[in-house]
Amino acid sequence: MYKKITIIIVIILGLALAAVFASRSKVNNFVPKSAKISVTASFYPLAYFAEQVGGDRVSIQSITPNGTEPHDFEPTPQDIITLRSSRVFFYNGNGVDAWADRVQPELIVGGVKVVAVSDAVSLMPTPVEQMVDDEREDKRIFNQFDPHIWLDPIRARQIAELIRDTLIVVDPSGADYYRGQFSDLSGRLTALDTDYTKSLASCATRDVIVSHYAFNYVAERYNLKLYAIAGMSPEAEPSAKHLAELTRLVKEKNITTIFFETLVSPRLAETLAKETGAVTNVLNPIEGLTSEDLSAGKNYETIMRDNLSALTTAMLCQ
C-alpha cells in the first residue's frame, strides 16, 4: 500500500518538475537578447550623465519631468511603476530628491539596483546661514550636506565614473563600451573645468547674487562669493529684511547683475534689479530643462558654458 502511494507521489513530482522546466524554457524564448538596460534617474543632470555614459546600450528616463523643479517634486503612482520596472535607479540624495530616499527600500526589495550618486563625491556641509527660516525648521528638506554637486565639473566627472562602474556591474558585456563613453565625457568635463578656471581667474568682482544657493560647489572651486535671494531651495520666500540687506549689498559692492533661474519666477530678481539699477540674467542651476531649452538643443554641457559666459560678464572678467 505504502509502496503504491510512494510510486504515485514520485510520478506526480516528476510530472510537476517536467512542467516547470517546460514553462521555463518557453519563457526564456521570449526574452529579447538585444533589450536595452532600462535606467531611471531622479532628475535631469543624472539622466544626462547616464545617457552619455550608457549611450546606445541603455534607455534612460528622468522621473522628474522637463520644466519641473526637482526640489518640490513628488512622484506619481505611474512613476513608481516605471521605477520598479527599471534595472538601475540613480538618485542624488541630500534633500534635492527627498522622495527617492523614501521609495528606495521597496525598489531594492524588488531587485532594482539603487545608486545614490552623491556617494561618489566629497560633500560640503550646508551652511545654516544660507537657509531661510522654514528650511532650518524642516529637517526633512535638508540634511547636513549641500546637494548641488552636479554643477562642479570635477564632481560631475566623479558622478559619471560611478555611473560607468554601476553599468559595468549590471551589464558586464558592455564594459569596454561604457569605458569608452565615459572617457569621452570625462575629457569634455575636464575641458569645462579648465575653461572655468581660466575665464574666472581675473575679474573686477567675485560677488555674485543668485536665485537660490545652488552654486556653493562652483563658488568653492572657482573662488566666488555668493548671496542668494531665496535659501537652499528656490521656492523658499525671503523676508523683507533679507531683501533690504541684498539691496544695500548690490549698491555697496557695485554688483552689475541679479541672476534668476529658468524654472522659478524671476519676480524677486526683477524687483531687486529695479531698485538697484542692476540688470537681470539667467544663471541656470541645471535642475531641469525647459521645453525652450530642449527645442534650442541645449543640454547640461551647453548650459554650463552659457553659465560661464554669464558669470564672466557679470563679474567683469578679463
Chain residues that interact with Zn ion, rule: CB under 5 A: 214
- Contact between 272 and 246 (Cβ < 8 Å): yes
Report residue 6 as a C-alpha cell.
510512494
With a CB cutoff of 8 Å and minimum separation 6, the contacts of 313 are 256, 257, 281
With a CB cutoff of 8 Å and minimum separation 6, the contacts of 242 are 132
Taking the complex as a whole, the smallest distance from the CB of residue 264 to Zn ion amounts, in Å, to 10
Closest-by-Cβ residue to Zn ion is 214
Taking the complex as a whole, the smallest distance from the CB of residue 204 to Zn ion amounts, in Å, to 28
Residue from 3, 59, 64, 68 nearest 35 by CA: 59
Q: Residue 299 gets which letter from DSSP?
A: -
Taking the complex as a whole, the smallest distance from the CB of residue 148 to Zn ion amounts, in Å, to 5
Nearer to Zn ion, 214 or 218 (CB): 214
- Contact between 272 and 229 (Cβ < 8 Å): yes
Nearer to Zn ion, 214 or 273 (CB): 214
- Contact between 76 and 127 (Cβ < 8 Å): no
Residue from 129, 311, 107 nearest 224 by CA: 311
Nearer to Zn ion, 98 or 214 (CB): 214
Nearer to Zn ion, 164 or 212 (CB): 212
Taking the complex as a whole, the smallest distance from the CB of residue 159 to Zn ion amounts, in Å, to 16
Nearer to Zn ion, 178 or 217 (CB): 217
Taking the complex as a whole, the smallest distance from the CB of residue 231 to Zn ion amounts, in Å, to 10
